[in-house]
């Protein structure tokens, strides 16, 4: 259809290369050529690289490994920021650690990044904490460190944040009851369009902007949990009004009326309001940290500082309550929230969440998950590059930071003496000298989150629709690369790819010796009469 449209616009589209198979072959050719050029440039510049990998299943039930590469693509001299580049989507024949490891190396080698290059320039590999990835005896981490001893295998900071929240949920049973109630609200309005319409009508009457209620503290990022909890906070009056109307609705069954009456009783209790305010405060802080850790340009030191800041916030919450909790406490004292009359349950078996115990456990979980082991050591060493951490008379201490620079250089496989001399110059000039740039780039190259892989999978799901579930993984990978990395049309020069296509022995669109495209049969006289009318 697109070819016919271009021909109607007067473009000479030739007589062949109009089929779906030809389109797939052209897309694959362009993407492979682009990827090899990209990898060749990285190798030529001897840029340090980091990998982000994740495993998932497609709509057609194929196990795949998505591979991103993080590196500095330099133009000329000077400081350049590393960027995240989609490299490939690999179909896995074996989903065990050895199969994933072999598929990863084969993928990199195919695109021109050899094992010899990886031994000298691979800085880190970032992935989630699945046992197949982080298994101590036979996981992908063990295979990588055996092959490349200097590589840093990094557990995604966002996944670790989610695990720290999950640890807190397991420890404090009251949170599970809160989560169960919000999940019930999600099911109530997600599975019933009628309930959704009625809630929307209630919101219109109250002039409230209705927000979508989703699941909380589930497998999704913690930022989505905050949106769901905030939606209940924002939609509170509309929810209560809907429960009241449903309780008195004569068209509903007696069991349904009892359900809505129970929901109203639960949501109008002071204990629930205080739990809701507490969770809004905590999840807002966690959500902001999660979004910060997902930023493409965040580095190790900045991430560590943000995590420490959140830990400090949670430590001080016992003395200084958050905004939502203060509002909820005032509402509980006045027995009124958003114009709704509240009641106290005063049940010893169902008290509100203890804020002190909650924040204490949350702080401890985050410290255990994100601020311990060798990852924290790297962040501590990297802080020496921040001028804010220097003393006032640092210019007189020529050996200041020497130990940290030495450790960073050894860990990142850089020339120790050159980095120390570069840092001494940095101390005096207060600007990055050329000799220190390799260390700065290497530190910034470490990817602290695999969220880029999640974005890639989201794009993959937009390509593999139910009507296109039979697409080959190689084709999906090509489409993903062109969408995520390929240049826009205004920057795209097709001539070089046309030349390489023809040099590979492929036919041109004007090849008269090939079979021409079969045109659609438009001989139906009755339909032709209708088309003329239209």
Q: What is the 3-state secondary structure (H, E, C) of 6-64?
A: HHHCCCCCCCCCCCHHHHHHHHHHHHHHHHHHHHHHHHHHCCCEEEEEEEEECCCCCEE
**Most trustworthy range by pLDDT among 154-158, 165-169, 218-222, 522-526:** 154-158
Side-chain-side CA neighbours of 469 within 13 Å: the count stands at 8
DSSP states of 318-348:
TTS--HHHHHHHHHHHHTEETTEE-B----T
Q: Would 181 be classed as within a structural domain?
A: yes
Among 370, 392, 413, residue at a domain's last position = 370
Mean pLDDT to the nearest integer, 334-362: 84
Judge if 132 and 173 occupy the same domain. no
Give the Cα separation of 534 and 522 in Å (integer). 15
Specify the pLDDT at position 227.
84
Alpha-carbon distances of 102 from 138, 147, 302, 463, rounded to whole Å: 13, 11, 33, 26
Three-state DSSP at 90 gives strand
Q: Give pLDDT, residue 239.
A: 87
Do 220 and 275 share a domain, yes or no? Answer: yes
pLDDT in tens, 319-341: 888 899 999 999 999 999 988 89
Structure-model confidence comparison of residues 257 and 196, the more confident one: 257
Residues 425 and 405 in one domain: yes
The predicted structure's pLDDT at residue 376: 76
pLDDT digits (tens, 9 = 90+) for 259-292: 888 888 888 999 889 989 998 998 899 899 989 9
Do 99 and 39 share a domain, yes or no?
yes
Cα separation, 467 vs 479, whole angstroms: 16
Same-domain pairing of 216 and 345: yes
Domain presence at residue 10: no
- For residue 346, what pLDDT is reported? 67
Collapsing DSSP to helix, strand or coil, 89 comes out as strand
CA dist 413 → 206, 407, 443, 519 (Å): 63, 10, 11, 61
> Cβ of 136: how many Cβ atoms within 10 Å?
8
Looking at the DSSP assignment, which residues form a beta bridge with residue 53? 67
Q: Would you say residue 437 has pLDDT above 80?
A: yes
Question: What mean pLDDT is reported for the chain?
Answer: 84
- Residues contacting 443, CB < 8 A, separation 6+: 299, 300, 301, 382, 385, 408, 412
Average pLDDT over residues 164-188: 81
Average pLDDT over residues 213-219: 61
Residue 76 is predicted with a pLDDT of 46
206 and 349 within one domain: yes
* 7 occurs within a structural domain: no
How many separate domains does the chain show? 3
User: So what's the pLDDT on residue 77?
Assistant: 46
The reply to whether 340 falls in a domain is yes
Give per-residue pLDDT as tens, 384-409.
Answer: 888 887 877 776 677 888 898 899 99
| 228 and 356 housed in the same domain | yes
Average pLDDT over residues 345-361: 81
238 belongs to a structural domain: yes
Structure confidence at residue 514 (pLDDT)? 64
Clarify whether residues 348 and 379 are in a common domain: no
Q: Is the dihedral of CA 15, 19, 22, 23 positive or negative?
A: positive
Which of residues 489 and 326 earns the better pLDDT score?
326
Q: How far apart are CA 351 and CA 114, in angstroms?
A: 60
Q: Could you report the per-residue pLDDT of 89-146, keeping only the tens digit for each?
A: 999 988 899 999 999 999 999 999 999 999 999 999 999 888 888 887 888 999 999 9
Domain boundary among 445, 466, 483: 445
Please check the confidence at residue 238 and state whether its pLDDT lies above 50.
Answer: yes
Residue 400 three-state SS = coil
Q: How far from the centroid of its chain's Cα atoms is residue 344's Cα? A: 41
Task: Let me know how long the chain is.
Answer: 534
What is the token pair recorded at 416?
Answer: 């120790």
Q: What percent of the chain has pLDDT over 90?
A: 25
Evaluate whether residue 267 is within a structural domain: yes
Q: For residue 531, what pLDDT is reported?
A: 79
Listed residues 316, 347, 370: the one ending a domain: 370
Residue 43 within a domain: yes
pTM (two decimals): 0.85
Give the Cα separation of 530 and 508 in Å (integer).
37
Domain annotation covers residue 527: no
Judgement on whether residues 120 and 245 belong to the same structural domain of the protein: no
Q: Residue 359's domain spans which residues? A: 161-282+335-370
The predicted structure's pLDDT at residue 68: 95
Mean pLDDT of 235-247: 87
- pLDDT above 80 (res 525): no
Q: Are residues 89 and 197 in the same domain?
A: no
Distance CA 479, CA 491 (A): 18
Give 174-180's long-range contacts (Cβ < 8 A, gap of 24+): 174/275, 174/351, 174/352, 174/353, 174/354, 175/217, 175/279, 175/353, 175/358, 177/350, 178/272, 178/275, 178/276, 178/279, 178/353, 179/216, 179/217
Q: Are 278 and 340 within one domain? A: yes
- Output the pLDDT for position 302: 87
Three-class secondary structure of residue 65 per DSSP: strand
Instruction: Give the pLDDT band of residue 212 (cuts 50, 70, 90).
Output: low
- Pair 35, 177 in one domain: no
| pLDDT band for position 485 (cuts 50, 70, 90) | very high
Tokens of 203: 């919101």
Q: What is the pLDDT of residues 37-89, one digit of tens each?
A: 999 999 988 889 999 999 988 877 889 999 999 998 765 445 578 899 999 99
Give me the mean pLDDT over the 468-495 stretch: 89
Rounded Cα distance between 40 and 356, Å, is 55
Lowest mean pLDDT segment, chosen from 53-57, 65-69, 363-367, 376-380? 376-380
Q: Note whether 261 and 244 are within 8 A (CB).
A: no
Q: Is 155 helix (H, G, I), strand (E, B) or coil?
A: strand
Q: CA 248 from chain center: how many Å?
A: 45
Residue 256 pLDDT level (bands cut at 50, 70, 90): confident
């Amino acid at each position: 259809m697109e070819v016919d449209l271009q021909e109607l616009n007067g473009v000479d589209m030739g007589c062949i290369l109009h089929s779906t198979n030809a389109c797939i072959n052209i897309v694959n050719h362009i993407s492979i050529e682009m990827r090899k050029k990209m990898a060749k440039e990285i190798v030529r510049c001897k840029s340090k690289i980091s990998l982000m990998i994740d495993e998932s299943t497609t709509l057609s039930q194929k196990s795949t490994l998505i591979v991103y590469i993080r590196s500095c693509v330099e133009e000329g001299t000077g400081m350049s920021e590393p960027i995240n580049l989609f490299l490939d989507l690999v179909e896995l024949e074996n989903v065990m650690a050895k199969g994933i490891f072999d598929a990863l190396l084969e993928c990199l080698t195919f695109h021109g990044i050899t094992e010899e290059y990886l031994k000298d320039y691979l800085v880190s590999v970032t992935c989630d904490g699945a046992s197949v990835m982080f298994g101590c005896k036979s996981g992908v981490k063990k295979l990588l460190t055996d092959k490349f001893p200097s590589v840093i295998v990094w557990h995604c900071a966002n996944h670790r944040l989610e695990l720290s929240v999950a640890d807190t949920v397991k420890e404090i049973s009251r949170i599970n009851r809160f989560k169960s109630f919000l999940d019930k609200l999600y099911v109530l309005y997600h599975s019933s369009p009628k309930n959704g319409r009625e809630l929307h009508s209630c919101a219109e009457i109250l002039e409230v902007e209705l927000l979508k209620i989703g699941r909380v503290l589930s497998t999704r990022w913690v930022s989505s949990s905050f949106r769901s909890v905030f939606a209940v906070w924002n939609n509170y009056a509309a929810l209560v009004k809907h429960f009241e109307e449903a309780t008195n609705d004569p068209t509903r069954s007696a069991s349904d009326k009892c359900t809505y009456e129970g929901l109203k009783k639960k949501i109008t209790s002071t204990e629930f309001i205080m739990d809701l305010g507490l969770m809004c405060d905590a999840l807002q802080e966690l959500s902001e940290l999660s979004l910060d850790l997902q930023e493409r340009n965040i580095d190790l030191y900045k991430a560590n500082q943000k995590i420490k800041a959140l830990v400090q916030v949670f430590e001080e919450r016992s003395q200084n309550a958050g905004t939502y909790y203060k509002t909820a406490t005032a509402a509980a004292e006045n027995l009124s929230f958003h114009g709704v009359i509240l009641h106290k349950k005063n049940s010893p078996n169902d008290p509100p969440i203890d804020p002190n115990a909650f924040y204490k456990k949350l702080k401890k979980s985050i410290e255990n998950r994100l601020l311990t082991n060798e990852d924290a050591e790297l962040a501590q060493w990297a802080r020496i590059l921040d001028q804010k951490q220097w003393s006032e008379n640092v210019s007189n201490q020529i050996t200041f930071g020497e130990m940290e620079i030495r450790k960073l250089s050894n860990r990142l496989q850089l020339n120790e003496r050159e980095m120390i001399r570069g840092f001494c110059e940095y101390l005096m000039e207060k600007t990055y000298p050329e000799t220190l740039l390799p260390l700065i780039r290497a530190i910034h190259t470490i990817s602290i989150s695999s969220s880029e892989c999640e974005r890639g999978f989201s794009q993959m799901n937009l390509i593999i629709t139910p009507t296109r579930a039979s697409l080959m993984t190689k084709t999906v990978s090509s489409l993903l690369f062109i969408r995520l990395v390929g240049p826009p049309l205004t920057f795209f020069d097709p001539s070089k790819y046309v030349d390489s296509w023809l040099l590979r022995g492929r036919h041109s669109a004007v090849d008269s010796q090939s079979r021409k495209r079969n045109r659609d049969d438009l001989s139906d006289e009755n339909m032709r009469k209708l088309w003329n009318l239209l």
